Amino acid sequence: MEPKPIGRVLVTEKKPTSVDTFAFWTDSKLILNPFDIVRVDHVNGSRSYGVIEDISHITDASSFLTNYISSDFGDVEVTPPTFRVGMNFVDAKIICNTKGIYIPVQSDEKVWLADESEITYALGLDNKHCVLPSGFLEMYENTGGVEKVVIPVKLDPRFVIGPEGAHLNISGISGLAAKTSYAMFLLKAIQDSYRDVKPEDGGVAFVLFNVKGKDLMGVHLPNDFTDDGKNTYEQAEEERNEVHALYEKMGLSTTPFEHVQYLVPNGEFDRTACSTFLSETELKEYVQSGIASQYVFTYEKDKEDLDLLLSNVDDSNQTLDAIQEYIISGAGGFDQCNDWESFLSLVSKHCDPAESPNKKNKDIPVVSWRRFSRIIRKTIENSPLFERDARDTTVRLEDKLRQIQSNDVVVVDVANLGEIMQSFVFGDVVRIINKLQLGEYDHMGAKPPKKIIIFIDELNKYASTETPKNSPILRQILDVTERGRSLGVILFAAEQFRSSIHDRVKGNCSTHAYGRTNSIETSKADYRIVPDTYKNILTRLSQGEYLIQNPIFRSMLKIKFPKPLYKQFKQN
């Protein structure tokens, strides 16, 4: 159905139009929504397009008291004898003009609903480089006289994984905003889009951290849509068809992730010391089928990463740093250590003034050695990740990650580890990927893809505003966001509260996704640029809805995305 005029531009002495905004009146019964797109004819045969930001209703009553009096001084059953003239007026923000003319739109110009092609043009979705599906938008839902418009939204990958811009930040309340699901949807779109790209032409690989239960421990398995038995077979089949249809409409395949490998913390299969949420049967099946390995850390090759165990420890005097350098240099007998047991034994000697090999060197006091010992001993001593006699089947993260190839998806499981060990593993993986992209493993035959995307949930654990400035993990994350684009290291990160994340991390992300949150969060400075109506919408977004901000979009978009195609595990 042809779009129709829905009102005219309003200009008064107290409410003028400007180069950025205008208002228009419309029928009070016409259903419009924030984010809908309208157009106005402008000077020199041009057209201006605006996005609806707010809708208000006004009558000819001079005050609230006027309405009260006309109802016989507050009798709600009385029909007011005076008919009140009312209308809706809409505030819209100019997002573009067809001829680049941005003088204020003129009074009484007709306002029209934009059609699908005009919406695509107005929002910048017609760019030929926009080929990466990121969801779809719905417009004019329940608007009388016009059909609902559903448009696939595609991003320019150059502004997502480089070189023009990079990094994605996703925020939203846990369990409601589906942060992981949206990140995985985008990663699925990227894998589909780069499946046939030759490695030398810009292949992409993925390193994902599983931080909650078994969330990402079945990304190679298809989603059965049974909702853990709540759906009947018929309901599951109907939902599967609906979800598959949405993926197909966006030009994506309907299969789960391909080329998946799982790296699971070391532990016995009998679960007495297992550090994963996978069942004994699942773990054995994964290992025997060759898609999973259990990882460990050895003293000989991983001692240089000990600083990662101190990432959340305040070291204003840098004595812990000095100890780390002392150990790496092999001083004090540390060059003779061949396992973690002998290492801890030697650390204990340094804590005793009478036995310390370092007693002549007063640069590192004994009290600092004792502090160092307390911090690392409680992590290393009983952890199966630091076993001296690791089984032959165990691997090191470095040895596995330097073999990564285009289209590979490596899931690093840290969900059942303590917070210190989660940080240690995350920091180690980021450090390895940086070295990989800098060419430090080339002499070992490593041929990594041009881009590696790292996805991590709960970013606040590693890069919050409260993280110590000397944290080695924070330094690594800042390095990734600030120069990772040029190296081909891309960060996709999620957190509950955007305001708690380090400003330099957020500031270097080119794409931002805002999920459902609360009014306390939207009152923070991070949301200052978001219109008040949009802030209110953020508090009531449904699952599967996000507000997206990207340099190629001329306005913030409210998009929807379908359910994941990979297996969903029930969270207890």
Mean pLDDT within 56-66 = 85
Residue-wise DSSP of 164-218: S-B-EEEE--TTTS-HHHHHHHHHHHHHHHTTTS-GGGT-EEEEEEE-STTTTTT
Which of the residue ranges 146-150, 296-300, 317-321 has the most confident prediction, judged by mean pLDDT?
296-300
Backbone angles phi, psi at 469, to 5 degrees: -60, -25
Cα distances from 289 to residues 262, 282, 283, 370, 394, in angstroms, run 11, 11, 10, 45, 15
pLDDT digits (tens, 9 = 90+) for 262-305: 999 987 655 445 678 998 889 999 999 999 999 999 888 888 88
For residue 399, what pLDDT band results from cuts at 50, 70 and 90?
Answer: very high
Starting at the edge strand that comes first in sequence, how are the strands of the sheet with 545-549 ordered? 149-155, 132-139, 557-560, 545-549, 511-514, 168-171, 489-495, 451-456, 204-210, 409-413, 260-265, 292-295
CA distance 274 to 211: 16
The pair of structure tokens assigned to 165 is: 């811009």
pLDDT at 513 over 50: yes
Mean pLDDT within 396-424 = 93
> Are the C-beta atoms of residues 401 and 436 closer than 8 Å to each other?
yes
> Diameter of the chain by CA atoms?
99
Mean pLDDT within 106-117 = 93
Pairing type for strands 168-171 and 511-514 reads: parallel
> Are the C-beta atoms of residues 470 and 436 closer than 8 Å to each other?
no
List the alpha helices (DSSP H) in 280-357: 280-288, 299-302, 319-328, 340-350
pLDDT value of position 82? 65
pLDDT value of position 419? 87
pLDDT at 315 over 80: no
pLDDT value of position 229? 64
pLDDT at 83 over 50: yes
pLDDT value of position 52? 94
pLDDT value of position 312? 76
pLDDT value of position 268? 62
pLDDT value of position 55? 93
pLDDT at 228 over 70: no
pLDDT value of position 182? 94
> Are the C-beta atoms of residues 166 and 484 closer than 8 Å to each other?
yes
pLDDT at 112 over 80: yes
pLDDT value of position 44? 93
pLDDT digits (tens, 9 = 90+) for 447-487: 899 999 999 999 998 999 888 887 889 999 999 999 999 99
Pairing type for strands 204-210 and 132-139 reads: unpaired
CA distance 82 to 79: 9
69-106 as b/e, with b when 16 or more CB fall inside 10 Å? eebeeeeeeeeeeeeeeeebbbbbbbbbbbeeeeebbe
CA distance 147 to 116: 10
71 or 400, which is more confident: 400
> Are the C-beta atoms of residues 386 and 420 closer than 8 Å to each other?
no
pLDDT value of position 407? 94
CA distance 58 to 175: 39
- In terms of Cα–Cα distance, which of 234, 259, 254 is closest to 244? 254
pLDDT at 390 over 60: no
